[in-house]
């Protein structure tokens, strides 16, 4: 965080219950929330992550439509930033709604966060005081705690690995780029990142000989996905492209990864496209 004095404090209390979920998608949830918290503190501030166990009973369920009784792990993301005006709190999880200036985001970050949390059987609480703080509480269903068993040797991962091939990832959401960088890099790919289509076209023009495949979002500022695909194909009609989007539009591209994607889907699709004959 250049020119800022924000500090990230992590308070993960001992004895936190286990949860079941897709690690790539949950990583995306907390990356999105932390990036939003950072952007809400342009002059610095404090970012805290806290965890706790909680049991929700029938009385609490009656006051919240998304709640179900049971045990939950709560992850709270708190910042001392600008806060969210009360009138906007009902809309911030809507697709394409954003309070950021043009070119700073598409408004899909929090809607993606909500979709992931709901797909895991959880829900989100929001508390905010304008000019003081914002708290997002992510509730994830806890697994029953079972006695420890004799450890077994883990089976080797069967997910396909790269051989150093370069993958150009084009997305205006920083959290999406971070997830792709982490996952593809861990499995043997060289990852090149672009924040929008114009930057992607420039990078591809400079490194087209080594870029094996391009993964592009469709809704981006400056230069959107369809325009990016057209420009890349003009430079190289044989360019291999994968569309990644929260919507069904593929821009005439055969290979599509819906957001939020899993590690398995991302890695298998990238391997298949790279190995595909033109």
pLDDT score recorded for residue 201: 97
How confident is the model over 19-31, as pLDDT tens digits? 999 988 999 999 9
Tokens of 35: 């990036």
Domains annotated for the chain, with CATH where assigned, are 7-141 (3.30.565.10), 166-275 (3.40.50.2300)
Distance CA 220, CA 167 (A): 19
Residue 220 vs residue 189, higher pLDDT? 189
Distance CA 203, CA 141 (A): 42
The answer to whether the CB of 115 falls within 8 A of the CB of 258 is no
The answer to whether the CB of 211 falls within 8 A of the CB of 168 is yes
- Least Cα distance to 187 among 24, 19, 30, 20 occurs for 24
Average pLDDT over residues 2-22: 61
Range from 62-66, 84-88, 226-230, 235-239 carrying the lowest mean pLDDT: 62-66
The answer to whether the CB of 223 falls within 8 A of the CB of 198 is yes
Q: For residue 224, what are the CA distances in angstroms to 109, 172, 196, 218?
A: 17, 10, 7, 6
């Amino acid at each position: 965080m250049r020119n800022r004095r924000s500090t990230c404090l992590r308070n993960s209390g001992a004895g936190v219950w286990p949860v079941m979920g897709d690690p790539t998608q949950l990583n995306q949830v907390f990356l999105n929330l932390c990036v939003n918290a950072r952007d809400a503190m342009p002059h610095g501030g404090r970012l805290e992550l806290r965890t706790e166990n909680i049991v929700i009973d029938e009385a609490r369920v009656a006051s919240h439509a998304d709640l179900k009784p049971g045990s939950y792990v709560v992850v709270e993301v708190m910042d001392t930033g600008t806060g969210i005006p009360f009138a906007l709190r009902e809309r911030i999880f809507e697709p394409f709604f954003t309070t950021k200036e043009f070119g700073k985001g598409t408004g899909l970050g929090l809607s993606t966060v909500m979709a992931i949390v709901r797909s895991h059987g959880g829900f989100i609480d929001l508390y905010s005081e304008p000019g003081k703080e914002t708290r997002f509480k992510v509730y994830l269903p806890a697994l029953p705690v079972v006695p420890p068993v004799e450890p077994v040797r883990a089976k080797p991962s069967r997910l396909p690995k790269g051989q150093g091939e370069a993958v150009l990832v084009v997305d205006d959401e920083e959290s999406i780029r971070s997830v792709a960088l982490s996952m593809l890099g861990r499995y043997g790919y060289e990852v090149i990142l672009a924040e929008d289509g114009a930057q992607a076209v420039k990078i591809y023009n400079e490194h087209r000989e080594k870029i094996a495949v391009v993964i592009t979002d469709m809704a981006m500022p400056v230069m959107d996905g369809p325009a990016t695909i057209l420009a890349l194909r003009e430079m190289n009609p044989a360019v291999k492209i994968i569309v990644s989007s929260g919507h069904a539009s593929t821009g005439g591209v055969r290979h599509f990864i819906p957001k939020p994607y899993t590690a398995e889907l991302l890695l298998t699709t990238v391997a298949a496209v790279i190995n595909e004959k033109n």
